[in-house]
Structure 1
Amino acid sequence: MMTLKAAELDRIFDKGDESILDYADMSTLRKLNKDENKQEDVEPANHRMIC
């Protein structure tokens, strides 16, 4: 991974001739809102409560 200042990265991105992925640390990527230990109780959409 290469490093540079934000202004230089902005210039490269705006110019569009070069991929900025070479400057990103791809080893730390994770899916947002995907916590493997988190469980949610969700009722089916067709479930109706009768009171």
Structure 2
Amino acid sequence: MIAASRPGDPARLVASSQRVLEVLGWVSQYGIEEIIRSAWKWHQSQPQGYGD
């Protein structure tokens, strides 16, 4: 679902991993699909989060 922007939302978001590569030499091991799949799996198994 696409909705109107909320107050405080940035007009545009742009992300690049180039800077972290240049500064830290870090390269992601996982693609976006695997990251989302893993996050969803965790969320399903921990619906209340980490707790207190």
TM-score band by shorter chain is under 0.3
Normalised by the length of structure 2, the TM-score is 0.27
Larger radius of gyration: 1
Structure scoring higher RCO (CA < 8 A, sep ≥ 6) equals: 1
